[in-house]
Amino acid sequence: MYKMKNTFLLLVLVFIACSERKETKLQQFLVKGNLAVQANNYQQAAYYFGEALKLDPCYADAANNLGTVYFKTLRYEKALEQYEKAIECAPNFINAYFNRANAYYQLKEYFSALADLDKIIKEKPDTAIVYFTKGLVQTKMRDYTSALISFDKAIALDRSKVEYLVNKATVKFYSKQWEQAKQELNYAATLDANEPTIYNTLSLIAMEQNKFDEALLLVNKALTLAPNQPYFINNRGFIYLQQNKMKEAEADINQSIGLDPYNGWAYRNKGLFYLMQGDSPNAERLLKQAVEMDSFIDKIYFYLGTAYLKNNKTALACESFRESEKLGDKMVTAEVIRQCK
């Protein structure tokens, strides 16, 4: 009897020691992985987080962080898998819900993203970044009224973030409230005059008002502050298209695609370039690619419809023009509308 008690005690001690060693190893792998992420060494980070998950397949922190490695390397579906694993292992893991919402956003699963964000808001109603992210999702859904409400909540909780103000102004730009958008952006400039997105968005407003010389000055100011920003370079390319400076336009659009091959707006502009050059087959190809990448792109269906029409694909053209009208582009002429009835 006495001997059995000692054996039991020995077994308990060994179990505790093994448990402590396991916990130590898990923490070491997590720390090493986090340091690798900070150093942008994502392959090494994935290795360390993977080793942690070999030790404990339900180590939620490692699964979440591995998801972030995949997210940062644009592997959004794999990121989603890891975030879901983290949530399965730790159902109250708020950071994993937020990360999963961002993955859903990138995968264009907007309703799923909203569901995760609303869950976080229910648990932590005073988190500015969550309202900001919700505003981004609602913007992609073209629910501009709700997006403005979300951005206003984010701004009320954290007035220091110029990014919040710029995105609110961008929604007003999409809503064609150009003067209000300019007021928001000018106020943002008083907080941080070196924020390049302010001048890029002001440039977009000037474009809509057909003030292309002013737009060019503004986007060049944005590029002075952020010289290799592919969206700004692409926007300048679009201005050059409107000014019929085809050589400069092509150079900017190609450079933008080289810097970011996933930017559908650049493919739209390359398609428009070909359309203006009379190469409607290549225009159709690139504009279709742009729609597949991001159907949110401004006036994309009008330009695609025009390419279809030039390629004698009347039914497809009419379908695109109807979509353009539904989205409020107001580019389709009365004659085209009559042809499509």
User: Residue 231 and residue 257: Cα distance in Å, rounded?
Assistant: 9
Residue 71 falls inside a structural domain:
yes
CA distances from 127 to 94, 120, 134 (A): 11, 9, 11
Q: Considering the domain boundaries, does residue 29 fall inside one?
A: yes
Q: How far apart are CA 197 and CA 221, in angstroms?
A: 10
Total domains, the chain: 1
| pLDDT value of residue 334 | 75
pLDDT at 277: 95
Q: Encoding tokens for residue 163?
A: 């990014």
Instruction: Check: CB of residue 273 under 8 Å from CB of residue 253.
Output: yes
| Residue 103 maps to a domain | yes
pLDDT at 275: 96
Report the C-alpha gap between 180 and 172 in whole angstroms. Answer: 7
Instruction: Identify the domain containing residue 57 by its residue range.
Output: 18-111
Report if residue 179 sits inside a domain: no
Calculated CA dihedral for residues 114, 232, 304, 211, nearest 10 degrees: 110
Say if 101 falls within a structural domain. yes
| C-alpha torsion 297→290→195→224, nearest 10 | -130
* Segment 104-111 long-range contacts (CB within 8 Å, at least 24 positions apart): 104/80, 105/133, 105/136, 105/137, 105/140, 106/71, 106/76, 107/76, 107/77, 107/80, 108/140, 110/137, 110/140, 110/141
- Give the tokens for residue 275: 């359309």
Range 181-201 burial, b when 16+ CB lie within 10 A, else e: bbebbeebbeeeeebbbbbbb
Confidence (pLDDT) at 20: 61
Judge contact between 62 and 53, C-beta under 8 A: yes
Cβ-contact 102, 70 below 8 angstroms: no
Residues 6 or more apart from 281 whose CB is under 8 A from it? 311
Query: Residue 12 has what pLDDT?
Result: 54
Q: Is residue 143 part of a domain?
A: no
18-56 per-position pLDDT tens digit: 556 878 888 898 999 899 999 999 999 899 989 999 999
List, for residues 214-242, the tens digit of each pLDDT value: 999 999 999 999 999 999 999 999 999 99
Is residue 141 within 8 A of residue 294, CB to CB? The reply is no
Contact predicate 45/37, CB 8 Å: yes
Specify if 45 maps to a domain. Answer: yes
- The CA-based dihedral angle spanning residues 122, 123, 126, 128, taken in that order and rounded to the nearest 10 degrees: -80
Q: Residue 79: inside a domain, yes or no?
A: yes
pLDDT mean across residues, the chain:
91
Say how far apart CA 191 and CA 39 lie, in whole Å.
31
What is the per-residue pLDDT for 3?
A: 40
Ranges of residues in the chain with a pLDDT under 50 are 1-8, 15-16
pTM: 0.84
Sign of CA dihedral 194, 195, 198, 200: positive
Domain containing residue 101: CATH number: 1.25.40.10
